[in-house]
Amino acid sequence: METELIKINSIDDEALKRAGQCIKDGGLVAFPTETVYGLGGDGLNEVAAKNIYLAKGRPSDNPLILHINDQKMLSRIVSEVTPMAKKIMTAFCPGPITIILPKSDIIPKAVTGGLDTIAVRMPDNDIARALIKYADTPIAAPSANISGRPSPTTAQAVYKDLQSRIDMVLDGGACQFGVESTIVDCTEDVPIILRPGAITKEMLEEIFPVVKIDKAIVGANVVPKAPGMKYKHYAPKVDMILIEGDNKKMSSSIKEILHKYENEGKKVGLLVSDEVANELNHQNTFSYGSQENLAQIASEIYEGLRYFDDKDVDIILAQGTTDKGIGLAIMNRLHKASGFNSIFI
Ligand code: TXA
Ligand code: MG
């Protein structure tokens, strides 16, 4: 199959209408959202959903998120909108947050991987919203990467992974946030964050007295409630070690570890802040931005993880961040990309 890569300039674009029709007809279209690029198909069409799993090489027990553009669509796909969900929608939607609710009967089994709940999100991106409108159906969309690889934040990264596996890639430029949406389970007494993202625990605590975090987000050997969170994920092609702890000691500690590996004859890549990059001045370095600017780090982190794919390195040393605010999302992705292989300093 030939994959079209098309720049979208406005929501009236003919290509965008064609993409909507393609989804209606059961095809697969990758599109930008404010978080990462999604691989979209008709969320009410069992065959389209199965084709999403095939295109990504994704395990079938890892359910999909349905993307909607209005409340009317929401009421078709869930059996109940809990008060908790209403509160979240009022405060944060459209935006980088996904809510888990009991599903309605019209959802194909392939979409939920057999669960009786459904993940729903209303993206804050004009192209995504227009695509849902033209397709006139909730769009099932996992991140548009080959399963296990870092999520794509540009159309070019999507094309690299999924070329010849899907019908179209809509290029809407780089994504704003760069990490996937926060997932919140809205079926229990208190909200539980199943995956951290740009809507932070602190932001949720402004509207709820208690917010829980699924233990699997911060620990290795725990079975997560979001099935997808159990897989080694977001990973670069070579091994990565996460260096975490005191920021003031980062430069000297990373320098020491770098020299140790170089003495063993290994070629080392560094995924670090501007501050550490400037200090160490090492050849194979991807700098993810200032350690003072977590939003920038979030938007760069997946490009950083992909950067070393075509570089000649044997191992990557990655600098950790704080786990406050969106730092929790960054650290969660870095822990998973490294397979929970950390050095604490
Ligand atoms: O920002 C995002 O959410 C992006 C963009 C494209 O919207 N999408 C995304 O989808 O990250 P994906 O498929 O890569 O991640 C979906 C996550 C998986 O970890 C999956 O296990 C979880 O959502 N999930 C889906 N349905 C669920 C459910 N009913 N209960 C618990 N977790 C669920
Ligand atoms: Mg994903």
The whole-number pLDDT of residue 236 equals 86
CA of 151 to the centre of ligand 2 (A): 6
Cβ(198) to ligand 1 under 6 A?
Answer: no
Cβ(243) to ligand 1 under 6 A?
Answer: no
Asked if 113 contacts 227 with a C-beta cutoff of 8 angstroms, the reply is yes
Q: Tens of pLDDT along 80-90? A: 999 999 999 99
Q: What is the mean pLDDT of residues 95-109?
A: 97
Sign of CA dihedral 326, 327, 328, 334: positive
Lowest mean pLDDT among 214-223, 241-250, 333-342: 214-223
Asked whether residue 232 carries a pLDDT value surpassing 80, the answer given is no
User: Residue 336 is encoded by which pair of tokens?
Assistant: 């998973």
User: Residue 234 is encoded by which pair of tokens?
Assistant: 């977001």
Query: What is the DSSP pairing of strand 29-31 with strand 168-171?
Result: parallel
Ligand nearest to the CA of 61: 1
The whole-number pLDDT of residue 223 equals 74
Cβ(125) to ligand 1 under 6 A?
Answer: no
**Angle between helical axes of 14-24 and 126-135 (0-180°, round to 10):** 50
Q: Tens of pLDDT along 146-197? A: 998 999 999 999 999 999 999 999 999 999 999 999 999 999 999 999 999 9
Q: Tens of pLDDT along 160-171? A: 999 999 999 999
The whole-number pLDDT of residue 226 equals 77
Lowest mean pLDDT among 6-10, 299-303, 336-340: 336-340
* pLDDT class of 313 with cuts at 50, 70, 90: very high
CA of 279 to the centre of ligand 2 (A): 34
Asked whether residue 221 carries a pLDDT value surpassing 70, the answer given is no
CA of 142 to the centre of ligand 1 (A): 6
Instruction: Collect residues with CB below 5 Å from ion ligand 2.
Output: 143
CA of 194 to the centre of ligand 1 (A): 10
Q: Give the separation between CA 71 and CA 169, rounded to whole angstroms.
A: 27
Of residues 8, 128, 126, the one with CA closest to residue 67: 128
Q: Give the separation between CA 270 and CA 316, rounded to whole angstroms.
A: 6
Asked whether residue 220 carries a pLDDT value surpassing 70, the answer given is no
Bond before 94 cis per omega within 30 degrees:
yes
Asked if 101 contacts 81 with a C-beta cutoff of 8 angstroms, the reply is yes
Which residues have C-beta within 8 Å of that of residue 31, sequence separation ≥ 6?
A: 19, 37, 38, 40, 127, 128, 131, 141, 170, 172
Pocket test for ligand 1, best of 143, 184, 299 (most atoms within 8 A of CB): 143
Cβ(63) to ligand 1 under 6 A?
Answer: yes
Residue with tokens 């999403």: 52
Residue 26: left if φ>0, alpha if ψ -120 to 50, beta else—which one? left
CA atoms within 13 Å, Cβ hemisphere of 6? 20
Asked whether residue 331 carries a pLDDT value surpassing 90, the answer given is yes
CA of 166 to the centre of ligand 1 (A): 20
CA of 288 to the centre of ligand 1 (A): 25
Q: Give the separation between CA 221 and CA 211, rounded to whole angstroms.
A: 22
Q: What is the mean pLDDT of residues 301-327?
A: 95
Cβ(38) to ligand 1 under 6 A?
Answer: yes
Cβ(143) to ligand 1 under 6 A?
Answer: yes
Asked whether residue 218 carries a pLDDT value surpassing 80, the answer given is no
Atom of ligand 1 nearest to the CA of 67: 7
List, in sequence order, every residue forming a beta bridge with 287; answer none if it has no partner. 272
Pocket test for ligand 1, best of 180, 230, 336 (most atoms within 8 A of CB): 180
Of residues 119, 209, 158, the one with CA closest to residue 31: 158
CA of 276 to the centre of ligand 1 (A): 33
Of residues 104, 78, 113, 74, the one with CA closest to residue 228: 113
Counting Cβ atoms within 10 Å, is residue 48 exposed (0-12), middle (13-18) or buried (19+)? buried
Atom of ligand 1 nearest to the CA of 35: 1
Cβ(183) to ligand 1 under 6 A?
Answer: yes
Cβ(158) to ligand 1 under 6 A?
Answer: no
Cβ(64) to ligand 1 under 6 A?
Answer: yes
Asked whether residue 230 carries a pLDDT value surpassing 80, the answer given is no
